[in-house]
Structure 1
Amino acid sequence: MEFWTGLLQSILQTALSPTTAAFVLAAIGLNVHFGFTGLMNMGQAGFMLVGAYGFGVSVVLGASFWTAMLIAILAAVLFALILGIPTLKLRGDYLAIVTISAAEIIRMVVKLAALQDITGGPTGIPGQKYRHVFTELSPLPEGKTTILGLTYANTGVDDWWTRLVAWGLVALFILITWALVRSPWGRVLKGIREDEDAVRSLGKSSFAYKLQALILGGVMGAFGGIVMALPAAMQPDSMGRPTTFNLWMIMLLGGAATIFGPLLGSILFFVIRLVLTSLAGEFVPASVLSAQQTEQLAWILIGISLILLVVFRPQGILGNKKELSFNV
């Protein structure tokens, strides 16, 4: 009984963690790119990295919180423009190759030893160098608070303040996405996804709309990177290719071209991995599976589940099969 109680508490902790919220934010942006516009962006982690480092480096160099946030947003917009202007005429796998390459270039540049004094190089930037500007904004009183059986400091490293802001941003971006998708602008995006030539025949600039979608989704990804870095540290390898692949898994699991798909997919992704590792650790002897092997087994089972999902329910849990017409 104690094991099951602890497991339920761990599930709640994971579902409410800032990391889960960060992946929701980045997945919402990826959903704008692929789900609603049909852009095969395989470099969403690059937008996360640009946003995180734009914020962190700015603070280290003396910027205030709001100035650093503005710089992070502008960095994401600039990255989207540099990436999008020469490449958005590409389709399908060609665009995927370009975007994943661009994200890897950014990650390698950040890791350069020559930039050690600015970006921290391969080791990144410790959280205490940039987190204070965020912590100082907290209106919460000092001390700890228990909610739903979870006890955290009101303000600190692993705190309620970070969770409130992170999930507040999730709610905000879900609302923004819902409003935009229902607008004429959103209907044009869906038209581009389904038949770009038909949209152009109506006098609409598909390039301009795709660039706008790339910028919007990229800024959402940048916020995801900032939220991901706030509780811990800024490390370039934590926003590499595996992060982008996980975001795709999250989006497809919840359902592409849905409003709440990224939210559901992210929570399920982290919770399922936690449950699998916890159950294996409790009921499988260490002589059969070590802790490292248990983690690997969890990833294998998640991969198999995704394969089965794509085969038997390609629209995802919340998706609509009618939304799967892509002109890529």
Structure 2
Amino acid sequence: MDFLSTLFIDFGLQILSTVTAAFAIAAIGLNLHFGYTGLINIGQAGFMLLGAYGFAITVKFGGPFWLAVLVALAAATVFALILGLPTLKLRGDYLAIVTIAAAEIIRIVGGNQQLAPVTGGVAGIGNQVYSDAFTALSPFPQDGSFSLGPYTFPLTQGDSWFLRIVCWAVLAIVLVVVFLLMRSPWGRTIRGIREDEDAVRSLGKNVYLYKMQSLILGGAIGALGGVLFVLGASVQPDSLGRSQTFLLYTIVLLGGAATVFGPVLGSVLYFIIIIGLQDVVGQFIPAEIMSQEQIPQFGWIVVGVGLMLLVIFRPQGILGNKKELSFGD
């Protein structure tokens, strides 16, 4: 198999990946905060991690799957209330400071060894603790696999077709919900708040309440993305830290803030770029110049430079409308 064939197969793997779908969902929640409402949330990974812990701990102590999902969403709602009540009446940068600190608190508490009987401590909560509750819902056989072109995955267990179908189906549902919300009076109001909240307030709208609703909804969507992310992995406190929030901002800005499909396009392109860089560098750059361990770091550098160029030359992203929103305006 030649290099180009391998490269395109890897691209397809990333498009089908559950990680791509999970981060697209979390980015939609962040886009609701930042793109549509103008809330600077630097702790979206904290919502993801809290949702993952809420889900995994509930199943770990005997709760059914659907109760665990509701606990994850409830935890994100409470978290948003705790963050928003003291900050949303203040300037936007206060929310940024609070959210990045709160997300770090969740990560540090999750890794605390004294809480290991509940959270698993640094080791986290293994996928085997909660995977059976999810696979039990599958309409497919528990064993066996299925091939679609060059891609072969188990039907139900592990990194399966069932998990992929669920992740992309949930993503589609979230897209439809956000699309309908943005075409509703509620969506037009939060866009107005982003542009000029004093003008919206002068029309008799409760700006504080709308901001709180946006923070809760976007946080709950982020928690849902966290649940789907750990269904294909395990709950590790360091896997959803500060860097993941900046990754989500990269996805939103790449696809286009304040657009419905921007986060999905941004997530797909981001992971395609990363895997493409790894394949190209691994194929054409000698190991004496760049080792396999250095390739991921090189990918981060390229993405960082690309993000800076994007903000400078096309701040609205690929799908964004410059007349409506430009990053930094």
Asked if structure 2 preserves the Cα contact closer than 8 Å seen for 1:45 and 1:240, the reply is: yes
Cα deviations across residues 232-278 of structure 1 (Å, max 9, x unaligned)? 21101111100000000000000000010000000111110110111
* Mapped partners of 2:107, 2:304: distance in 1: 25
Instruction: Give the equivalent residue in structure 1 for 2:38.
Output: 38
Q: What residue is the counterpart of 1:164 in the other structure? A: 165
Distance in 2, Cα, partners of 1:176 & 1:148: 32
What one-letter code is carried by the residue in structure 1 that aligns with 2:274? R
Distance 1:212 1:92 in 2: 16
> In structure 1, what is the Cα distance between the partners aligned to 2:295 and 2:234?
26
Mapped pair 1:22 → 2:22: yes
Shift of 1:326: 8.3
Confirm or deny that 1:239 pairs with 2:223: no
The C-alpha deviation readout for 1:71-125, integer Å capped at 9, x for no partner, is: 1111111111111111112323322111101111111111111110000011100
Count of aligned positions: 328
Inter-partner Cα distance in structure 2 for 1:277 and 1:291: 9
Using structure 2 for the length normalisation, give the TM-score.
0.97
CA contact (8 A) 2:37 2:214 kept: yes
Superposed, 1:1-328 pairs within 5 Å as: 2-141=2-141, 142-324=143-325
More deviation, 176-185/140-149:
140-149
Q: SS where residue 219 of structure 2 aligns?
A: helix
In structure 2, how many angstroms separate the alpha carbons of the residues matched to 1:288 and 1:154? 41
State the alpha-carbon separation in 2 of the partners of residues 191 and 227 from structure 1.
Answer: 32
Q: Deviations over 1:108-157 (max 9, x none)?
A: 11111111000001110000001110000000134111123211000011
Q: Which amino acid aligns with 1:192?
A: I
Q: Alignment identity in percent?
A: 56
Q: Secondary structure at the match of 2:172?
A: helix
What SS does structure 1 have at the residue aligned with 2:147? strand
Q: Is the 8 A contact 2:316 2:326 kept in 1?
A: no
Matches of 1:42 and 1:53 in 2, distance apart?
A: 19
1:193–1:327 Cα contact (<8 Å) kept: no
Residue pair 1:194, 1:325 contacting (<8 A) in 2 also:
no
| Structure 2 unaligned spans of 5+ | none
Contact 1:45 1:239 in 2 (8 A): yes
Report the secondary structure of 2:87's partner residue. Answer: coil
What TM-score do you get using the length of structure 1 for normalisation? 0.98
